[in-house]
A and B are shown apart, each in its own frame.
Chain A
Amino acid sequence: MALDRVISEKRKRQCAKLIEISKDIVRQAFDKFKPEELGITWTGGKDSGLGLWIIRQVCQEKGIPLPKAMIIGEGDEFEEIEGFVDRMKKEWKVPLEVCRNEDVLKAANHTLNVIVKVKDLSERNREELKRIGFDEDEFPFEAESYTGNHLMKTVVFNQFLERNKIKGIFQGLRWDEHPARFDDPYFEHKEAGHLAPEHTRIRPILHFTEKDLWDTYAAFKIPYCQLYERGYRSLGAKTTSLISEEGVPAWKQDLENTEERAGRRQDKEKAMERMRQLGYM
């Protein structure tokens, strides 16, 4: 599905300029690393989708194969995203690895909110829990909890790097998506740590704002997952992702004055007012 929205020529040129900046980052990555040393994180969402679309173009112009992509199966996926990923994988010929923490999924019987006993997990997963300071004997299986996030995403990500000897990994992060991202660098080298391999994170689309991104999708007819048409602005796990505005496509929402990842935090402004009563702070 491609966005059916008219973008002016001027705006299209602006978007093309943003794409050029991203392509330059991608080219630099290919100068630094061999294609087989590179990996791409893909979620089926709008950010990694744009990144993949750009990386694929650079590969085509250079006549090199698309690096291996990874998608994390956290056990709580939208069927719509799975369908979209399947379709694009075939259409764009993406060498895709679906990465799951099978050990945890098995211990949880592939069922959300089931209590997982730490002693039932593999040594590696137990070691990972120790590494993050988890100090209980069991936890409920939820992809978006702290432990769930670590075991189902971080561990799986690190294992993908290890298994494929990846030295540079593309990420679809943007500066404006979260305050913690606002000064992320395009290239960030990560030293090896306990259970975490040394690698470089490459973020070619950092400079795209949410509005830039949707205008680019429209201007260049880039395919996207249909959930964005239903009002989702940010897609994560199925049970914790919330529609921001029911029935209002993401690109028609007030992108500049509301939070992309708002969900339950819509009333944060009011809460902030109450917190501000603490004058001393």
Chain B
Amino acid sequence: MAEIVGPGCPRGIPGNVEMPLAVERLPNGNTLIADAGDEAGFGSEIIEVDPVGSIVWNYNQGLKFAHSGRRLKNGNTLITDTTNNRLIEVTPDKRIAMSSDEWGGGTGKLSDGSHLHYPNEAFELGDGTFLVTDRNNDRCIQVDRKGHVIWAFEKELHHPHNGNPLPNGNILIADSDGNRIVELNKKKEIVWSYGDGKTETLWWPRGAIRLEDGNTVITDSKNHRIIEVSPAGKALWKFQTEHVDKFYITHATKEGTFLIACTDGHHQVIEVDRTGNIVWLFRNYRRPSPIHARLTNGFFKEVGEDGMPRHWVLATRLSEGGGKFIWDNNHKPSPCPGLEYDRPGGLFLQQNIAVKPGATYRVGAEVKTIDVKGTACLLIDFYDHLVGSLYRDITDMPSGEYFTGTNDWTHDSFEIKVPPKATFAQLRLAINHSGKVFVKNIMMNLI
């Protein structure tokens, strides 16, 4: 019998902000938030919240891991619907006024023959065209509402996010995997940059904004901080929280404060002033996945009506739309579950388990892989009381063996010490890049 110590809420409740990624303060004082949704791919939406925290507008139809929502001059909202590889414009009464799916005669193709691939950000430019950061195509492009590519910067970028238009016509781009921020002019010359490639300086920066005084505020995501640098590259100010907080996008308000989307660090949007005080906060997160008293159905004997092993969650959020859960039905004595994946993101099968801080557990299972190009492994993430991960990088998490290629059934066990601030563990079977991984006989016990 499964014993649930922390029940989860239904998935996809409209207005429940699970993972805020982009944020902006509107002229009317409300705040527009792009919510990427929960780990299982539900609940992505754009919400508009007023200063006292009431949701006054939302749009959630068909979105998958939407990364940004930007209010246009005409009152519509431009949305990068990231995992659906599209850009849409919706009206206040929630009609789609434009969709990139209609481009290229309904093929979704742009005038250069390409298709948007994991678009992360889109801003409206002065002439009504859009500046789109097309992450997995490693480019930043200017397109019109019909999909004509007017301008493109396609060199030297490595999974960029948040290409940001500047008043002087230049563009500030967070070259995230390049660990740097670059400013381009229209001739595609890099006229300013910050970051030397080292993760100590910038680690996976997600966005940058230029202040009126010429300084640049950078969301240095994996260093979980916001930093302000001068044109000469001198670090002037920084903000960070005590917990791990993978900030995504920072927006400067006209009051001189900063709105920060805190992703699933603590699932909130905060507004901070120059002294680091949080002056406004929006958080209405409810955790959809239950917390089990102990590892449950680790031998996968219980199967639900949907064909999935009961008590396990397929986490598709980072899957970029690919991959699936599979069973090896030929396995004796009973079928064993697995994951099949085919692209650079990741796919997880996971369960939340209550743990005692300071206690040591042994976790073990048997794992088999077939032609894994990236990595497959069992790993454990720990979460604090506000459901924030205690690790800033997946490779910091306690794990079993990292499997690559093809491996027959292998015993894999590892010991973990529960960190002091942990309230529950999330045990995951993970795969990234491509291949298949199977697992059986998962156990986790206090030692």
Give residues in A with beta carbon < 8 Å to B: 131-137, 142, 144-147, 149-150, 154, 178-184, 193, 264-265, 267-268, 271-272, 274-281
Contacts and interface: CB of A to CB of B under 8 A. Distances in A.
Given A144-B411, A275-B374, A275-B375, A135 B301 contact: yes
A279 to B, nearest CB: 5
Given A133-B295, A146-B411, A193-B446, A276 B365 contact: no
Interface string B201-223: 00010000000000000000010
Given A133-B443, A182-B417, 20 more contacts: A133-B299, A134-B441, A135-B301, A136-B333, A144-B411, A146-B362, A146-B411, A179-B398, A180-B417, A181-B417, A193-B446, A272-B395, A274-B374, A275-B374, A275-B375, A277-B374, A277-B432, A277-B433, A278-B345, A281-B394
B176 interface: yes
Contacts of A193: 446
A183 B317 CA distance: 34
Contacts, number: 106
B402 A268 contact: yes
Given A134-B441, A264-B401, A279-B204, A145 B411 contact: yes
A91 B441 CA distance: 44
A107 B263 CA distance: 53
In the A-B complex, the 5 residue pairs with the smallest Cβ-Cβ separation, listed nearest first, are A146-B364, A281-B394, A271-B402, A135-B299, A180-B415
B60 interface: no
Nearest to A179: B398
Nearest to B297: A135
A147 B411 CA distance: 10
Interface string B315-332: 001100000000000000
B362 A274 contact: no
B301 to A, nearest CB: 6
A91 to B, nearest CB: 32
B447 interface: yes
A180 B346 CA distance: 26
Q: Name B's interface SS.
A: strand
A146 B365 contact: yes
Given A149-B362, A279-B177, A281-B318, A271 B346 contact: no
A268 B394 CA distance: 13
Contacts of B377: 271, 275
Contacts of A179: 398, 417
A265 B399 CA distance: 11
Given A181-B417, A265-B402, A276-B394, A132 B441 contact: no
A278 B393 CA distance: 9
Given A135-B301, A154-B447, A272-B402, A178 B364 contact: no
A184 B418 CA distance: 11
B46 interface: no
B416 interface: yes
A27 B263 CA distance: 51
Contacts of A178: 415
A179 B419 CA distance: 11
A133 B415 contact: no
Interface of B: 159, 176-177, 204, 222, 246, 263, 294-295, 298-299, 301, 317-318, 333, 344-346, 360, 362, 364-366, 374-375, 377, 393-395, 398, 401-402, 404, 411, 413-417, 430, 432-433, 441, 443-447
Q: Which one of A154, A182, A268 has the greatest number of beta carbons of chain B within 10 Å?
A: A268
22 contacts: A132-B443, A133-B294, A133-B295, A133-B299, A134-B441, A136-B299, A136-B333, A136-B441, A144-B411, A144-B413, A145-B364, A150-B445, A179-B398, A184-B417, A264-B401, A267-B402, A271-B404, A275-B374, A277-B177, A280-B246, A281-B318, A281-B346
B409 to A, nearest CB: 10
A170 B289 CA distance: 41
Contact of B394 (A145, A267, A278): A278
A126 B366 CA distance: 20
Contacts of B362: 146, 149
Nearest to A183: B417
Contact of B395 (A142, A182, A267, A276): A276
Contacts of A134: 299, 441, 443
A274 B372 CA distance: 11
Contacts of B393: 276, 281
Nearest to B418: A180
A146 B363 CA distance: 8
B427 to A, nearest CB: 12
B335 to A, nearest CB: 13
A264 B345 CA distance: 25
A271 B417 contact: no
B391 to A, nearest CB: 8
Contact of A133 (B177, B298, B398): B298
Contacts of B402: 265, 267-268, 271-272, 275
Nearest to B440: A136
A159 to B, nearest CB: 16
B204 A278 contact: no
A135 B365 CA distance: 12
